[in-house]
Amino acid sequence: MSESPAKPAMTEPLEAALTGADDRLRLNHWLPPQTGIAPRIRIGGRWISVLWALPLGTVALIVLIAVAQSLRELPSVTAFIKHHPGISQAAPSVDSGFPVWLQIQHFANMFFMLFIIRAGIQILADHPRLYWKRDCTPGIDWFRFQKPIPEGRVWTSKDDSVTVPAWLGLPGVRHSVGLARWWHFSVNLLWVVNGVLFYVLLFSTEQWRRLVPVTWDVFPAALSTAIQYASLNFPVDHSWTRYNGLQQLSYFVTVFVAAPVSIVTGLMQSPAISNKLGWFGRTFNRQAMRSVHFLAFTWFVLFILMHGIMVFVTGLRQNTNHMFGGVDDPSWRGFPLFALAMAVLIAAWLVASPFTIRHARLVQRTGGFMVDWLKGLAERWDVHAQLTEKDISPFFWPNGTMPASKAFDDLVAGGFVNYRLRISGLVEAPQEFSLADLKAMPKQEQITTHFCIQGWSGVAKWGGVPMRHILELVRPPPEARYAVFYSLADGSDGGRYYDVHELRNMGHELTILAYEMNGAPLSVLHGAPLRLRCENELGFKMVKWIAAIEFVRDFGHLGAGHGGYNEDHEFYGYRMPI
Ligand SMILES: Nc1nc2c(c(=O)[nH]1)N[C@H]1C(S)=C(S)[C@@H](COP(=O)(O)O)O[C@H]1N2
Ligand SMILES: [Mo]
């Protein structure tokens, strides 16, 4: 008689179908490049290219300068500018100059932003469309840099991803969202730490006075500064002690509006967080948040551009002395440090992508080390968020690599009567269930949002067997820590698709083995005969066309050992509630 409650682990034969994976991003094993189009914005029914901004912006600038110059000849405007020279007269001044901590934080912020912006663009390119509504129905996007979806064929969200210029994206390879996310999230964390420290130091010294307007006078002051800049006759600069109205407002918006908005709208795109927040998550849905996140990004880019230009045109020596030298004198103290900072930035820019492509696994591991503890916290939540029938999306993007085997075709042809779900490994009662067996079990229906890592989302009603019920039937012992889902389909680079979940995910209320979608039998496109729904994770962790479930103590021996096909082959994370 055995002392162990578990039968000896039955080896899952599908293990042999899993493959190893490269630790580098190998372009000849990757989705081939595909160019998009110049970004367009939809106004009503018309798509307008943002390239129009160049000629229109140039004309607008010339007109603006002409108008500002003639305005300045009006006595009333002259009087207004005399009265509001640009710096709000009531604003308190700062006597401590630009302390070293401020200089360091300014540089760190610049350095972090480089990675955040490039990786952000890369993430956007994986679903190069923006929407306001939760579902991503073709044609309702308001922004895209991809052609309309081709009709008459299956067009997956992976098909839709585009290549961004290699110098711009990080790592600049099509569908490298997995790697881009590690950069984006890890550096975000550093950026937030830097930002929090900045807030603390700002308000524990007098430096906050530079950025926070304390009198209404800032608005006429900003208007006056705007007219003066636009007329190309710049206001007198006193930035060592006080910023002018326009500067103060734009810095304030950047630090106290754009930054927090980016953080919140970034987090709200996560399945676990969005689902956890109930009505808040439903109202401020993933697509609206993704759009606002993009608008905040646009603000940052325009700000950096204008800020950079102004540093040069309003006196490079003085400005670099302030922010890089900490002095307000006619010396050349700041400039060499500024040049060095720029050199570091350029070097980082040049090295980041080649490094990421070459050391993809290292980037994945380092990223995991940096942010997996945070994702682990979100993974603990058992989400209950449900929507209503009227929220069901008219269009639900398909994704993934379809099954392509005779065996699968035969199953389809036979209406899946010969299908068996095998449950094995560390369980007290290994089982094989037919589809009829599964349909005879307790059924759970749920209307939920699907969050794909690429950026799209969609609402559907799913029907199937709660995983909790399966656990009761097969009884994994305490030492079974993970559930491995094997697919009937291969992944995009050969070898069987699979994914590993912690057992905790299996006990969640909304984790089901679905055989129905929107009240109809699941289609092959969406995973027939059986697919996983686990609503606190991103879409790729929900294996479609499930062949078998194996309970294991560890998953290091499976595939390349990273906990799933996309984890192995596309450097995704294993914990993906965010
Ligand atoms: N077997 C298998 N399952 C898979 C995939 C895949 O490529 N193969 N793709 C995943 C991804 S990335 C997503 S977003 C969802 C898509 O499900 P859908 O086609 O129903 O939208 O399935 C997931 N399950
Ligand atoms: Mo996905």
- Cβ pair 341, 324 in contact under 8 A: yes
- Cβ pair 25, 565 in contact under 8 A: no
Confidence of residue 426 (pLDDT cuts 50, 70, 90): very high
> Which residues does ligand 1 sit against, CB inside 6 Å?
396-401, 452, 487, 489, 497, 526-527, 539-540, 542-545
313 and 419, same domain (yes or no): no
Distance 544 CA to ligand 1 centre (A): 6
Does any domain span residue 277? Answer: yes
Mean of pLDDT values over 46-63: 97
433 and 359, same domain (yes or no): no
- Given 346, 379, 412, which residue is the final one in a domain? 379
Does any domain span residue 62? Answer: no
Pocket test for ligand 1, best of 31, 395, 399 (most atoms within 8 A of CB): 399
Per-residue pLDDT tens digits for 234-243:
999 999 999 9
Q: Is the model's pLDDT at 1 over the cut of 90? A: no
Per-residue pLDDT tens digits for 344-377:
999 999 999 999 999 999 999 999 999 999 999 9
Confidence of residue 577 (pLDDT cuts 50, 70, 90): very high
206 and 352, same domain (yes or no): yes
176 and 305, same domain (yes or no): yes
- Which residues are within 8 A (CB) of 327 and not within 5 positions of it... i.e. 6 or more apart? 97, 321, 333, 334
360 and 392, same domain (yes or no): no
> What pLDDT score was predicted for residue 4?
44
> What pLDDT score was predicted for residue 10?
54
268 and 249, same domain (yes or no): yes
Mean of pLDDT values over 109-119: 98
CATH number, domain of 562, equals: 3.90.420.10
Per-residue pLDDT tens digits for 376-403:
999 998 888 899 999 999 999 999 999 9
- Of all ligands present, the nearest one to the C-alpha of 458 is 1
Task: Write phi, then psi, for 461 (nearest 5 degrees).
Answer: -100, 125
Pocket test for ligand 1, best of 448, 516, 542 (most atoms within 8 A of CB): 542
- Of all ligands present, the nearest one to the C-alpha of 496 is 1
Residue with the nearest Cα to atom 11 of ligand 1?
Answer: 540
Does any domain span residue 336? Answer: yes
* Cα–Cα distance list, 26 to 13, 173, 401, 570, 576 (Å): 29, 10, 19, 10, 24
Mean of pLDDT values over 108-132: 98
Mean of pLDDT values over 29-42: 97
514 and 552, same domain (yes or no): yes
Does any domain span residue 146? Answer: no
Confidence of residue 9 (pLDDT cuts 50, 70, 90): very low
pTM for the full predicted model? 0.96
> What pLDDT score was predicted for residue 385?
84
Burial bucket for residue 95 (CB in 10 Å: 0-12, 13-18, 19+): exposed
Distance 350 CA to ligand 2 centre (A): 30
Per-residue pLDDT tens digits for 332-350:
999 999 999 999 999 999 9
Distance 390 CA to ligand 2 centre (A): 24
Q: Is the model's pLDDT at 11 over the cut of 80? A: no
- Given 379, 405, 420, which residue is the final one in a domain? 379
Domain that holds residue 107: 96-126+161-212+244-379
369 and 321, same domain (yes or no): yes
Name the domain count of the chain.
2
Mean of pLDDT values over 254-283: 97
Residue with the nearest Cα to atom 20 of ligand 1?
Answer: 526
Mean of pLDDT values over 554-563: 97
205 and 111, same domain (yes or no): yes
Closest CA to 270 of 131, 379, 187: 379
Confidence of residue 29 (pLDDT cuts 50, 70, 90): very high
- Given 322, 353, 379, which residue is the final one in a domain? 379
- Of all ligands present, the nearest one to the C-alpha of 544 is 1
Residue with the nearest Cα to atom 9 of ligand 1?
Answer: 400
Q: Is the model's pLDDT at 7 over the cut of 80? A: no
Question: What whole-number percentage of the chain has pLDDT above 70?
Answer: 98
Q: Is the model's pLDDT at 8 over the cut of 80? A: no
Does any domain span residue 57? Answer: no
- Of all ligands present, the nearest one to the C-alpha of 567 is 1
Per-residue pLDDT tens digits for 432-477:
999 999 999 999 999 999 999 999 999 999 999 999 999 999 999 9
256 and 323, same domain (yes or no): yes
Q: Is the model's pLDDT at 277 over the cut of 70? A: yes
The chain-wide mean pLDDT, for the chain, equals 96
325 and 465, same domain (yes or no): no
> What pLDDT score was predicted for residue 3?
42
* Cα–Cα distance list, 104 to 63, 258, 454 (Å): 39, 21, 35
Please state, in angstroms and rounded to a whole number, the distance separating the CA atoms of residues 385 and 281.
Answer: 9
Q: For residue 46, give the DSSP letter.
A: E
Mean of pLDDT values over 259-263: 98
Please state, in angstroms and rounded to a whole number, the distance separating the CA atoms of residues 144 and 125.
Answer: 9
> What pLDDT score was predicted for residue 5?
46
- Ramachandran category for residue 41: left, alpha or beta (phi over 0 → left; psi -120 to 50 → alpha): beta
Mean of pLDDT values over 119-125: 98
